[in-house]
């Protein structure tokens, strides 16, 4: 997607949004509610047309060759989008027929349902399913036609932690099987360990994108260490200390060192100065840290 903009009335859902999704990877679109993640997914399949900019999926324009694009995409939306009055089987069968699976439909339905552990409930009416079962059925439906690109919009929405974990494991498994996955979420924890590329969105704009390690090293080029002491103010001596790139004390102190080898000397120096340390912890920045750092930076820029 290049410089894509889309408005709904006065609301600008996407604003010069750029997105490049590498093949056979998991790209996570990270952003608060209303950031434009769902609109981006809808643009990818051609369910919505951009007002400006261009979209190319598999080299095709979804606005023109939407049917070909949609045949190669599998989508799980934030709501499972299932027909409650139909059985699980009928829901899958409906999708199989719309995707033109023909004589393969029966086998594919069985295989997809088995893959997500929902085959025992296929004869039941979906209205009686639990939220977790509905998500599993929606996931089964998304892979029926063996799509090359999977688009998951908040796939763990409404699930308990155990079911969420199972769904994320299934997404990893699909990636291992060679699929390309784009997943939208506002839950930073679930993106952790899953994302191979992260795109942080806010107000329809991509604030930053890259692999998690690229992005964290961009924001935290040094080694991050968290320190605490009985007298926290005594840690302030680290501010401006040689080898300390940044110092911040918000309760506990967070410092960035240009080299982790400095840490033992630094600790020895503090102890020698009478600082009674209670915590010294090298810290690997998480996506959550990244997310808030990015948003804070852009808020400052906007101000």
Partner 1 sequence: MNAFSMDTSRIATVTRTELKQLIGAKDFWIPMVFLGGLFFLFIPTVLLLSITSVGDIGAVQQISQALEVLPQTAQDAIKGDSEAGKASYALAVYLFAPIAVVVPLTISTAVGAATIVGERERGTGEFLAHSPADVKEIYIGKLIASLLPGYATTIVGFGLYSLIVNTIVGPEVGGWFFPTREWWVLMLWVVPPFLALTLSIVLRLSARVKSTAAAQQASGLVSLPLIMVAYSQSTGALFGAGRATVYIGAIAWFMAGIGLWRGMKAVNRSRLLGVADGI
Interface contacts to partner 1, rule CB under 8 A: 8-9, 42, 45-48, 66-67, 70-71, 73, 75, 77, 79-86, 90, 94-95, 97-100, 125, 141, 151
Which of residues 84 and 258 has its CB atom nearest to partner 1 in the complex? 84
Which of residues 127 and 193 has its CB atom nearest to partner 1 in the complex? 127
Which of residues 37 and 42 has its CB atom nearest to partner 1 in the complex? 42
User: How far are the Cα atoms of 13, 15, 51, 196 from residue 48, in angstroms, in the given order?
Assistant: 12, 15, 9, 26
Provide, rounded to whole angstroms, the least separation between the CB of residue 8 and partner 1: 6
Provide, rounded to whole angstroms, the least separation between the CB of residue 290 and partner 1: 30
State how far the Cα of 82 lies from the Cα of 120, in Å rounded to an integer. 17
Which of residues 32 and 100 has its CB atom nearest to partner 1 in the complex? 100
Provide, rounded to whole angstroms, the least separation between the CB of residue 63 and partner 1: 10
Provide, rounded to whole angstroms, the least separation between the CB of residue 156 and partner 1: 17
Which of residues 70 and 186 has its CB atom nearest to partner 1 in the complex? 70
Neighbours of 110 (CB within 10 A): 14
Instruction: From 177, 175, 152, 147, select the one nearest 164 (Cα to Cα).
Output: 152
State how far the Cα of 13 lies from the Cα of 6, in Å rounded to an integer. 6
User: How far are the Cα atoms of 108, 109, 168, 217, 300 from residue 104, in angstroms, in the given order?
Assistant: 6, 9, 27, 48, 55
State how far the Cα of 191 lies from the Cα of 286, in Å rounded to an integer. 10
Provide, rounded to whole angstroms, the least separation between the CB of residue 211 and partner 1: 28
State how far the Cα of 24 lies from the Cα of 255, in Å rounded to an integer. 37
């Amino acid at each position: 997607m290049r410089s894509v903009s889309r408005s709904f009335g006065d609301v600008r859902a996407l604003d010069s949004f750029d997105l490049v999704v590498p093949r056979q990877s998991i790209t996570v679109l990270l952003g608060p509610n209303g950031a434009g993640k769902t609109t981006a997914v809808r643009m990818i399949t051609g369910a919505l047309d951009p007002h400006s900019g261009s979209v190319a999926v598999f080299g095709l324009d979804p606005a023109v060759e939407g049917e070909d694009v949609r045949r190669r995409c599998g989508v799980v939306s934030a709501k499972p989008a299932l027909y409650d009055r139909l059985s699980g089987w009928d829901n899958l069968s409906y999708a199989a027929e719309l995707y033109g699976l023909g004589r393969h439909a029966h086998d594919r339905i069985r295989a997809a349902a088995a893959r997500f552990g929902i085959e025992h409930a296929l004869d039941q009416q979906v209205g009686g399913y639990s939220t977790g079962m509905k998500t599993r059925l929606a996931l089964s439906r998304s892979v029926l036609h063996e799509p090359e690109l999977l688009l998951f919009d908040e796939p763990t929405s409404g699930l308990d932690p155990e079911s969420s974990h199972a769904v994320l494991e299934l997404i990893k498994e699909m990636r291992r099987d060679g699929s390309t996955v784009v997943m939208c979420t506002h839950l930073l924890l679930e993106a952790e360990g899953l994302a191979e590329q992260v795109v942080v969105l806010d107000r329809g704009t991509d604030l930053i994108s890259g692999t998690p390690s690229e992005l964290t090293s961009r924001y935290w080029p040094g080694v991050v260490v968290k320190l605490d002491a009985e007298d926290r103010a005594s840690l302030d001596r680290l501010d401006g200390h040689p080898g300390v790139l940044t110092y911040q004390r918000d309760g506990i102190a967070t410092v960035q060192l240009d080299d982790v080898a400095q840490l033992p000397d630094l600790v020895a120096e503090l102890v020698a100065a009478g600082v009674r340390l209670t915590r010294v912890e090298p810290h690997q920045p998480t996506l959550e840290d990244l997310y808030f750092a990015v948003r804070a930076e852009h808020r400052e820029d906007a101000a």
